[in-house]
Amino acid sequence: MALSIPRGYRSELDGRETEWAIRFIRNTFQEKISEKLHLQRISAPLFVLPETGLNDNLNGTERPVSFDVPSLGGKRAEIVHSLAKWKRMTLGRYGFAPNEGLYTDMNAIRRDEEPDNLHSLYVDQWDWEAVIEKMQRKEETLRYYVKNVYAAIKSTQNAVSQRYPQLSKTGLPNDITFITTQELLDMYPGLSPKERETEFVREKKAVFLMKIGGRLSNGEKHDGRAPDYDDWELNGDIIFYYPPLDCAFEISSMGIRVDEDSLVSQCREAGCMDRLELDFHKAILEKRLPYTVGGGIGQSRLCMFLLNKAHIGEVQASIWPQEMVDACLSAGIRLL
């Protein structure tokens, strides 16, 4: 069982106060992010047909939850892992212009996830996507969007602090620090990827770790990324330092999406050229989809961070191993 219990932990809000605070955080952040990035809320699917190529393959090993649909002749549908590809198609279908975008509520089931303080079988996040011009496919554009997402989080944190002064504010700096996975490896060559993240974020408190998916100078990947939505040279994770658990706390994964060239090169490197025959991938190769930037921001993750909770199960309803439930109960951690 992967569970960490902070010494002397006690939630600063009781059960009902926590539920009110969750609602406040969700409503506040949605307003802030839509203002910062000029986003419109759009309805999104819970499941898709696998032959469309719209589901997120994550690291390529996670199994989607699927079910048969009698009304479609027994075809199988899959619960989405994320909406990374669907959002891009929707922007094109709705005719969004450059520098406009959408956000939506994404709910997923990650059946192969290993539950711990930060990970659950249930995933909820704000998925967002914005249209850009091809000439905007560069690091400067990525940094602009990262800074605006970070500003929305900071504004939400300030609103939470005013509403709930009893909460000890998890210190976020005024600015977020940018670093690449290769630079991080050069700084800490003897550490694992997660250990590198933790060491660096302890010092900087808020970090955007860039260029995730490709191989580094040691021949290894910092972390896996599907080859057919993020451009591995123009993506990254927003990571905070979280004092209650003394750990690196990923709050968002985002990036500029693949174009026709990076799609082919990354699928070739990943050994999955067969994906190029799927509808979504053909649309990219034939330049029928807009160029976009986008990402996901964990809803329960953000609530956990801003409310100083020890376990993500304190801000979302899921299922957990019984020994984890018992250990949390003994430690005063109230799982929803």
Give residue for tokens 């109960």.
329
Instruction: Go through 65-97 and write b for each residue having 16 or more CB atoms within 10 A of its CB, e for each that does not.
Output: eeeeeeeeeeeebbbbbbbbbbbbbbbeeeebe
Catalytic pick among 34, 120, 125, 318: 125
DSSP string, 312-331: GGGSS-----HHHHHHHHHT
Contact present, 137 and 25 (Cβ < 8 Å)? no
Say how far apart CA 136 and CA 131 lie, in whole Å: 10
**Strand-pair partners of 257:** 230
Q: Which two tokens stand for residue 273?
A: 């050229």
Is 112 annotated as catalytic?
no
- Continuous H helices in 133-278: 139-163, 181-187, 193-204, 260-270
Whether 30 is catalytic is no
- Catalytic member of 26, 56, 299, 301: 56
The amino acid at 27:
N
DSSP letter, residue 220: -
Contact predicate 118/310, CB 8 Å: no
Which residue of the set 129, 233, 237, 314 is catalytic? 237
In SS3 terms, 278-300 reads as: CHHHHHHHCCCCCEEEEEEEEHH
Measured CA to CA, the distance from residue 305 to residue 300 in angstroms comes to: 8
Q: Which of 124, 250, 262, 266 is catalytic?
A: 250
**Catalytic one among 30, 253, 299, 318?**
253
- Phi, psi (degrees; rounded to nearest 5) at 47: -145, 155
The token pair that represents 318 in the structure block: 């899921």
Catalytic residue among 110, 137, 196, 257: 110
Across the beta sheet with 75-79, what order do the strands follow? 47-48, 75-79, 66-69
Check if 237 is active-site. Answer: yes
Which residues are part of the catalytic machinery?
56, 110, 125, 237, 250, 253
